[in-house]
Copies of this chain bind each other. A is one copy, B any other.
Amino acid sequence: MNDTHISLAHGGGGELTRLLLSERVIPKLSNPLLDPLGDSAVLPQPDGRVCMTTDAFVVQPLEFPGGDIGRLAVCGTVNDLAMAGARPTALSLAIVVEEGLEMSVFDRMIDSIAAAADEAGVPIATGDTKVIERGRGDGMIITTAGIGTLRDGVNLDAGRIVPGDVVIVTGLIAEHGLAVMSARKGLAFETELLSDVAPLVGLAGDVFSSGADVKFMRDPTRGGVSGVLVDLAEQTKLSLDIDERALPISAVAQSTADMLGLDPMTVANEGKAVIVVAEAEAEAALRACRANPLGTKAAIVGKFTDATPPLVELITRPGGRRMVTRPYGEELPRIC
């Protein structure tokens, strides 16, 4: 097949669709679940309760420093499962392509999906491809869904959080959102920042295996660390004191955020976790994070208190206090 660009006919469900899949997709994603190519994949009976999650990815541009929409689509969904205490067992992959997309871009995205799925250790079990008319579609939109099996002994429940419990952030924040913005048309600026997009299955497993009583884990994507912390205060009806000096952030990310007028705590991450553990085991959980290559910069950033009303407060570098709020709308559109 020598096509250089995607055409509408590639999505028609006919011979061209079959060729696109059989020549450019299936060989790269090949695994025993996908290869029968029915409309559904059949998986063995799970050994425990099942987690299910989905995300639609509309990031622009499709390729950005440190990643692309393919890697993002795999990691985003895998991470939602990992954060729920599940071992991912299968992903589904639905691709909507815009007519006219260069076939070389399509090929690179499939390569990237294959590599990320391999890195995360999860098969693409089933998929779908549609093509929409030129000018209607933004290049490529990818939606992944994932299922996983809950780990034994994991008891994630924000309702169990009590004053004194500790918040860990597993590494440098804000790098995904800032890296995507740096590549955005009309805004492009020079930076050495790379997206942190990565699968967190291993890191989460290490923390669960550390013996710490893990009460909560979430990847701070849209809405950033602030969004997660505000959710936590609302759910627990407890307050949070966050130490700005302890927040892991690189000088480059801080200055880039300052330049753009953004609060880095509201900027999306795609390879970090916010973890809440009982105070007694906080050091054990922190050590488990730091021993993982994706968690070397992990830090304890704050703790829960019983101050009322329930608020998230940032103890700033100069020693002041500032309330942390959920971003209202869209500070950085289309970053995932």
Chain A: residues with CB nearer than 8 A to chain B? 7-18, 38-58, 80-81, 83-84, 86, 90, 92-96, 125-133, 135-138, 141, 143, 145, 147-148, 150, 218-219, 221-223, 227, 268, 326-331, 333-334
If A49-B45, A84-B42 touch, whether A56 touches B143 (CB-CB below 8 Å) is yes
Contacts of A95 in B (CB 8 A): 56
Chain B's nearest CB lies how many Å from the CB of A8? 5
Q: In the complex, given contacts A13-B330, A54-B94, A58-B96, what are 10 additional A-B residue pairs having Cβ atoms less than 8 angstroms apart?
A: A8-B333, A9-B330, A14-B326, A16-B330, A42-B49, A46-B50, A54-B145, A132-B334, A137-B138, A147-B147
If A50-B46, A50-B50, A329-B8 touch, whether A94 touches B41 (CB-CB below 8 Å) is no
Chain B's nearest CB lies how many Å from the CB of A47? 8
Contacts of A50 in B (CB 8 A): 42-46, 50, 147
Are B15 and A222 neighbours in the complex by a CB distance under 8 Å?
A: no
Contacts of A86 in B (CB 8 A): 40
Contacts of A55 in B (CB 8 A): 94, 128
A279 to B287, CA, bound (A): 66
If A14-B330, A222-B12 touch, whether A51 touches B42 (CB-CB below 8 Å) is yes
Are B136 and A328 neighbours in the complex by a CB distance under 8 Å?
A: no
A327 to B132, CA, bound (A): 18
Chain B's nearest CB lies how many Å from the CB of A103? 16
A130 to B69, CA, bound (A): 14
Chain B's nearest CB lies how many Å from the CB of A177? 11
Are B54 and A127 neighbours in the complex by a CB distance under 8 Å?
A: yes
Q: Give me 12 A-to-B residue pairs in the complex whose CB atoms sit less than 8 angstroms apart, sorted by A's number.
A: A8-B329, A12-B222, A13-B268, A14-B328, A14-B330, A15-B328, A16-B329, A42-B50, A42-B51, A45-B50, A46-B50, A136-B137
If A46-B46, A334-B132 touch, whether A15 touches B53 (CB-CB below 8 Å) is no
Contacts of A328 in B (CB 8 A): 9, 14-16
A279 to B61, CA, bound (A): 55
Are B42 and A145 neighbours in the complex by a CB distance under 8 Å?
A: no
Cβ-neighbour of A51 out of B43, B49, B131 (below 8 A) = B43
Are B45 and A41 neighbours in the complex by a CB distance under 8 Å?
A: no
A264 to B7, CA, bound (A): 23
